[in-house]
Amino acid sequence: MKKFLIYSILFQLVFFACKKSEIDPIFEESSNKRVTTQIEAYKKQLISSEYGWKGLYYPNGAKDGGYSFFLKFDANGNVSMYSDIDGFYYFTNGYDKAFTTTYQIKALQKPTLVFDSYSYLHELVNPDYNGGTGQLADLELAISSSTDAQINLVGNVHQTEMVLTKITKTESESLAKGGLASVFNNTYDYANTGKFLTLVFPTGEKSDLLINMSAKQLGLFYINKSGEVDVAYSAFSVTTTGIQLKDAISLYGIKFQELFWDDAKKLYYINVNNTRINITGTSKPALPFYYALGNLFVGFNMNPNIPTQTVEYKALYEKIKANVISLSTAAPVRVIGNVFLEYLPDDGVFALVVSYTRTNPDGTLVFNGAGVLYYQPSLDSKGNIKFTRLSTTATLSGGTLSSGISGIVSAGIKPLTDVLEGNTFLWDYDPTAERTAVLKSNGPQNISIKGLLY
């Protein structure tokens, strides 16, 4: 029996030894070689695009908006880039000139594009910003998929999304001529002209467009079927042709993901089925006043020098200004500036903000700030608003409420607070002035106050 087992084992060893050359391996090359081949293929792909790649980059789940990077890779590990980054800490604006830095494709968990020396991109991870976290962005991005025309990447730490598409000849020429800088600066001016931006749909409905260049977010505000304010949001980045949205917006039967800049007319438009729809600047929003409050604006600046300001408010303002000065019996003297009503959406209350300075007789400025009082608003069935002052024991989302106002300033502005607390008001847009509203009392005191909306 033992001999039989021994012969059997020897026979199997000889058999498999003879068959070894006839068995195909599962993989024809080692895993290291396969990864090396992949890395070389991706690097070749990056280098091969004649005009480079446009990267749309969305850190922190696009909560901090988006950024565009125009990248030209070479075979020596160098990459030149433009970006729509608006001058963070150590750099000038990324759209003014190309910046050359270095890159690698490394074998981490997946083939990974690594930006390994300082560049515009590093400003998004700068620990000097946002309490040491930067914008929760990534410098190492794994390649998740690719085609000849597009490469998709995901950050290894914060899952930043980046999509690379090939730059066209037209885009390349525009970059060289300062096209990205021109569109960025025009977009900033367009978003901050003081006008409200309105999109009129082919069906006649209107929506208000808000372009937030700081947050790189675009919002489209409208009244939904339930009669409530709704908004379609998307992060965006600025390109050589306009604004590229991360997510397409669909509303009133149309869908768009890009806004195009018309440099001749200095306005944005969308293109839907080869039909151009302009976004127009208007003196007031499409949304009714109380729907727009807290969404399109939060503040009402009761500046006495508004060209159309009412005579009665100018007189009231001069009175409270004189009161504060006369009550400042000892230096430094208090002098009030502008007065604001500012809405706090998270708490549903208003802050009456009174700016003022304190100055010594020799002209030395020792204080430049503001005092604040808080008011609870209430609306009646006719849309009239009443302001009720809150006690200092109330709490807001930011903590315990405090009046935070000098006793002298509080006493001096009493004629104004008496008006606010002793009347109901009709509050609506001013039909005679741009980006202005009118707070008109219903009595017993007859007064109208105009304010700039911000």
Structural domain spans, the chain: 31-168, 180-286, 299-453
> Count of residues for the chain?
454
Q: What is the average pLDDT across 152-156?
A: 97
d(CA 244, CA 167): 14
SS3 state at 36: helix
What confidence score (pLDDT) does residue 87 get?
A: 56
User: Among 90-94, 212-216, 406-410, 435-439, which stretch is predicted with the lowest mean pLDDT?
Assistant: 90-94
205: which strand partners? none
Residue 240 to residue 298: CA distance in whole angstroms: 32
pLDDT of residue 11 exceeding 60: no
Q: Do domains 31-168 and 180-286 have the same CATH topology?
A: yes
Question: Across-strand partners of 335?
Answer: 357
pLDDT band at residue 33 under the 50/70/90 scheme: confident
Give Cα 369 to chain centroid, integer Å: 27
Q: Comparing 57-66, 128-137, 253-262, which segment has the lowest mean pLDDT? A: 128-137
Mean pLDDT to the nearest integer, 379-395: 88
pLDDT at 27 over 60: no
d(CA 119, CA 437): 45
- The domain made up of 180-286 is a member of CATH 2.40.50: no
CA 429 to chain centre: 26
Is residue 12's pLDDT more than 70? Answer: no
Q: What angle do CA 228, 232, 237 make, to 5 degrees?
A: 155
**3-state class of 134 per DSSP?**
coil
Predicted pLDDT at 404: 82
Which of 45-54, 219-228, 383-392, 445-454 has the least mean pLDDT?
A: 383-392
pTM of the model: 0.84
Confidence of residue 9 (pLDDT cuts 50, 70, 90): very low
Residue keyed to tokens 């075979």: 75
Compute φ and ψ for 337, nearest 5 degrees.
-115, -130
For range 393-409, the mean pLDDT:
74
pLDDT band at 393 (very low <50, low <70, confident <90, very high): low
How many angstroms separate the CA atoms of 293 and 352, rounded?
16
CB 236 within 8 A of CB 216: yes
Q: Under a CB-based contact definition with an 8 Å cutoff, are residues 142 and 154 in contact? A: yes
> In 3-state terms, what secondary structure has residue 312?
helix
pLDDT, average across residues 72-76: 98
Neighbours of 35 (CB within 10 A): 15
Tens-digit pLDDT profile for residues 260-275: 999 999 999 999 999 9
Q: What percent of the chain has pLDDT over 90?
A: 79
| Mean pLDDT of the residues in the chain | 90
Q: Is the Cβ–Cβ distance between 175 and 240 less than 8 Å?
A: yes
- Residues 142 and 159: their CA atoms lie apart, in Å, by 9
Which positions ≥6 away from 31 have C-beta within 8 Å?
none
Q: How would residue 2 be classed by pLDDT, with cut points 50, 70 and 90?
A: very low
CATH code of the region 31-168: 2.40.128
Distance CA 243, CA 222 (A): 20
**What single-letter DSSP state applies at residue 140?**
E
pLDDT tens figures, 115-133: 999 999 998 998 877 767 7
Beta strands in 44-195 (DSSP E): 53-58, 67-73, 78-83, 99-107, 111-115, 140-146, 150-155, 161-166
d(CA 136, CA 251): 31
